Structure 1
Amino acid sequence: MNVKFRLTLLNFLQFFVWGSWLISLGGYMIVTLKFSGVEVGSIFATMGIASLFMPAVMGIISDRFINAEKVLGFCHLAGAALLLIASRVTDYPSLYIIMLFNSMAYMPTIALANTVSYNALEKNNLDIVKSFPPIRVWGTVGFIAAMWMVDFLGFTKSPMQLYVSAGAAFLLGLYSFTMPKRPPLKEGDAKSFASSIGLDAFVLFRSRKMAIFFIFSMFLGAALQITNLFGGSFLDDFKTTYPDSFGVQHPNLLLSISQISETLFILTIPFFLQKFGIKNVMLFSIVAWVLRFGLFGIGNPGSGLYLLVLSMIIYGMAFDFFNISGSLFVEREADPKIRASAQGLFMLMTNGLGAFFGGILSGWVVDFFTENGVRNWHNIWFTFAGYALVLAIVFPFIFKYKHEKYESLENLTH
C-alpha cells in the first residue's frame, strides 16, 4: 500500500481520537454531569500537566529503548481502555484521575505520530518538507470528521462520544504496529530529558526579548482551550430561547467552522509574514483572540448566528498566526545548537503551562459569573476578551523585534 496513503490514515485517526471529545466533553460535563466550571477547567488542564513531561518521557523511551511505532501503539491502546472507563464514570474525582491518565497517554502521541511519519517518508526516499504537510492536513480533517460524527449521532452531551474516541484509539493502536519500523537511535543521537522538554533552552530567558516572547506564549496558550472547554455548554444554554436553532441542534457542526478556518488561514501565513513581519502577525493573532471572545459575548444561535460564525472564522487567525509565526521566531532567534530544545520550550509554555493555567483560571471565571446554575455568558466572554485586549495593548510596547522579510517556512517542519 502507498506509504503516503498509510500515513494519511495514521494522521486522520490520530486527530479523530481527539476530535471525538475535545470540543464536546465540556458540554457533557456541565450539562449532563452538572460539574462546576472549575471542575471542567481542571479536567481539561490535565492536558497541560501531561504536556509538561509526557512527550519527553515517551520520546526518550522511543529514542533509546522501544521502536517509536510500538510506543505509539501502546499509548493509543492504553488511551482506548481509559476512555472506556471514563465513559462509565460520573463523579468528578474519578473522572479527573482517569482523564489525567488519558492525557498522559494521548499527548505524547502527537509528537510520536510525527516521528513515525517522518521515518516512513525518509525510508521511502520522499522529501519530508514537501510530502508531510499535505498528509498532516488530513489530521485536521479527521478532527472535523469526528466532531461531525459525534454531532450527527447526537452524542455531544452523552458519554457515547468517549466510546467513539475509544474505538478509534483502539484501531489506531493496532494500526500503529504495522507502520514501518523506527528503531531506537544510536546512543549519541538520543536527546536527554532536559533537552526533550526544552530545559537546556532556558538560557534564552537571559535575553529580554526572548523572555517576553515566552511569557506571552504562556498567556496566549491560556486562551487556546477556553472555547474548547465551554463552547458546547454555551450553545446548550440557548436551548430555551432558541431551541430549534442550528447552533443548539448541531453545536459541533457550528464549532467545527473554527477547525476549517484553521486549515485555510495556514495558507495565508506566507503572505502576512512577507507583508507585515513576525511581530505584527503575532499582534494580529492577539487581536483576533479579542474578537473571538467578544463576538461570542454578543452573538447567539438565533439572530446573532452570523456573529458566532464570524468568531469561528477569526479563530483560524487567532490560533495559526501566533503558533506558526512564534515557531518561526524561535527558529530564527535560537542558537542552532539548542534550536530543537527552544521549540520544545515554546510548546511547553503554550501547550503545557499555558493550557494548565487557562483551564484552571477559565473555570474560575465561569463559576464567578454563575448564579443558581445560570451562567452569564456575556460577562464570561467579555472577561476573556478583556484579558486578550490587555495582552494586545501591552505586547507591541514591550516586545521589541525588527520587521524582517519572510523567506521560507521550511525550517518549521524540522
Structure 2
Amino acid sequence: MNIRIRLIVMNFLEFFVWGSWLISLGAYMFNVLHFTGVQVGSIYGTMGIASMFTPALFGIVADRWLNAERVFGLAHIIGALLLLWASKVTDYPTLYMIMLLNSCVFMPTIGLNNTVSYIVLEKRGLNIVKDFPPIRVWGTVGFIAAMWMVDLAGFNLSPLQLYISAGSGLLLGVYAFTMPGCPPVKSTVKKNLASSLGLDAFVLFKRKKMIIFFLFAMLLGAALQITNTFGSTFLDDFKSSYPGAFGVKHSNLLISISQISETLFILTIPFFLRRFGIKQVMLMSIFAWVFRFGLFAIGDPGSGLWLLVLSMIVYGMAFDFFNISGSLFVEREADIRIRASAQGLFMLMTNGIGAFLGNYISGRVVDHFTVNNVKDWSSIWFSFAGYALLLGIIFPLVFKYKHEPQQMGPVAVQH
C-alpha cells in the first residue's frame, strides 16, 4: 500500500479515537451520571495533568529503548482497555482515576503520531514540510467523522461512545505494529535527564518578552478546552425549550462545524502572518475567543441558531491562530539547539498547565451559576467572554514585538 495512504489511515484513526468522546462525554457526565461542574472539569483536566509529563517520558522511551511505532501502538491498546473499563463506571472517584490513566497514555500519542509520520516520510525520501500537512489534515477529518458517528448513532448521552473510541483505539494499536520500523537513533552524545525532559528550554524565561509570552500562552490555553468540556452539555440543556431543534438532537453535528472551520482557517495563516505579524495574529485569536463565548451566550437552537453557527466558524480562527502562530514564534525565538524542547515547553504551558487550570476554574464557574440543577448559560459564557476580553486588552500593552515582514518566509503550517 502507498505509504501516504498508510499514514493517512494512521492519522485518521489517531483523532477518531479522541473525537469519539472528547466533545460529548461532558454531556453524558452531567446529564446521566449527574456530576457537578467541578467534577466534569476535573476529569477533562486530566489531559492537562498528563500533558505536563507523560509526552516527555514516552518520548524518552521512543528515543532510547523502543521503536516509536511500538510505543505508539502499546499506548493505544492500553488506552482502549481503560476506556472499556470507564464505560462500566458511574462513580466520580473511579472514573477520574481511569480517565487520568487514559490521558497519561493518550496524550503522548499525539506527538508520537507526528514522530512516526516524520520518520516514515524521511525514510521514503519525501519532503516533510510538503507531504505531511496533507496527511495530517485527515486527522481532523477523523475527529469530525467520529463526532458524526457518535451523534447519528444516538450515543451522545451514552457510555457506548467510549466503546467506539476503544474499538478504534484497539484497531490503531494493532495497525501501528504493522507500520515501518522507527527505531531509536543511536547517538554518541548522551543527554542528561533535564535535557531529555525538555527542561533546558526554561532558559527562555531569562528574557522578559518570553516570560510574558508564555504567561499569556498559559492563560489563553485555559480557554482552549472550555467549549470541548461544556459545549455539548450547553446544547443538550435546550431540550426542554427546543425539544425538536437540530442543534439539540444533533449537537455533535453542530459542534463539528468548529473542526471544519479549523481546516479552512489553517490555510489562511501564512497570509495573515506575513501581512500582520505574530502579535496581531495572536490578538485576532484572543478576540475570536471573545466572540466564540459571547455568541454562545446570546445564541439558541431556535431563531438564534445562526449565532451558534457563527460561533462555530469563529472557533477556527480562535484555536488555530493562537496555536500555530504561537508555535512559530517559539520556533523563531529559541536557539536551534533547544527548539524541540521549546515546543515542548509551549505545549506544557497551553495543553498542560493552562488546560488544567482552565478546566478546574471553568467547572467552578459553571457550578457558581447553577441553581437547583439549572445552569444560567448566558452568565457562564459571558464570564468566559469577559475573561478573554481582559486578556485581549492587556496583551498588546505588555507584549512588545516588532513585525518584520521581510523575515517572514513561506510558512509551513502543521496542525
Instruction: Using structure 1 for the length normalisation, give the TM-score.
Output: 0.98
Structure 1 range deviating more: 244-253 or 337-346: 337-346
Deviation at 1:409, TM superposition (A): 1.9
Alignment of 1:8-407 (within 5 A): 8-188=8-188, 193-405=193-405, 406-407=408-409
Q: Give the share of equivalent positions with the same residue, in percent.
A: 70
Q: 1:332 Cα shift?
A: 1.2
In 2, the alpha carbon distance for the partners of 1:298 and 1:382 equals 9
Instruction: Structure 1 unaligned segments of length 5 or more: list them.
Output: none
Check 1:140–1:158 CA distance in 2 against 1; reply closer, same or farther (3 A cut): same
One-letter amino acid of the counterpart of residue 409, structure 2: E
The answer to whether residue 414 in structure 2 is matched with residue 408 in structure 1 is no
Stretches of structure 2 that go unaligned for 5 or more consecutive residues are none
Query: Once structures 1 and 2 are overlaid, which stretch shifts more, 106-115 or 182-191?
Result: 182-191
CA contact (8 A) 2:238 2:301 kept: yes
Task: Tell me, yes or no, if the aligned pair for 1:73 and 1:177 is still in contact at 8 Å.
Answer: yes
Counterpart Cα distance in 2 of 1:138 and 1:152: 20
Q: Residue type of the partner of 1:399? A: F
Cα 1:331–1:32, aligned 2, differ >3 Å: closer, same or farther? same
- Using a 3 Å threshold, how does the CA distance of structure 1 residues 397 and 65 change in structure 2: closer, same or farther? same
Letter paired with 1:15:
F
CA distance in 2, matches of 1:189, 1:379: 56
Could you tell me how far apart the structure 2 residues matched to 1:191 and 1:259 are? 38
Amino acid at match of 2:272: F
Distance 1:147 1:196, change over 3 A: farther
CA deviations over 1:180-217 (Å, ceiling 9, x no partner):
00111214467555335432111111111000000000
Provide the rounded CA distance (Å) in 2 between the counterparts of 1:106 and 1:196: 20
* Residues 357-381 of structure 1 deviation map (CA, whole Å, 9 limit, x = unaligned): 0110000000000011000000000
Q: Given residue 177 of structure 1, which amino acid in structure 2 is its aligned partner? A: F
TM-score (norm 2): 0.98
Task: Tell me, yes or no, if the aligned pair for 1:196 and 1:344 is still in contact at 8 Å.
Answer: no
Cα RMSD (Å) of the superposition? 1.2
Q: Which amino acid aligns with 1:29?
A: M
Counterparts of 1:325 and 1:192, CA distance in 2: 30
Deviating beyond 4 angstroms after TM superposition, the runs of 4 or more aligned structure 1 residues are: 189-193
Change (3 A) 1:283 1:218: same
Tell whether the 8 Å contact from 1:57 to 1:193 is kept in structure 2 after alignment. no
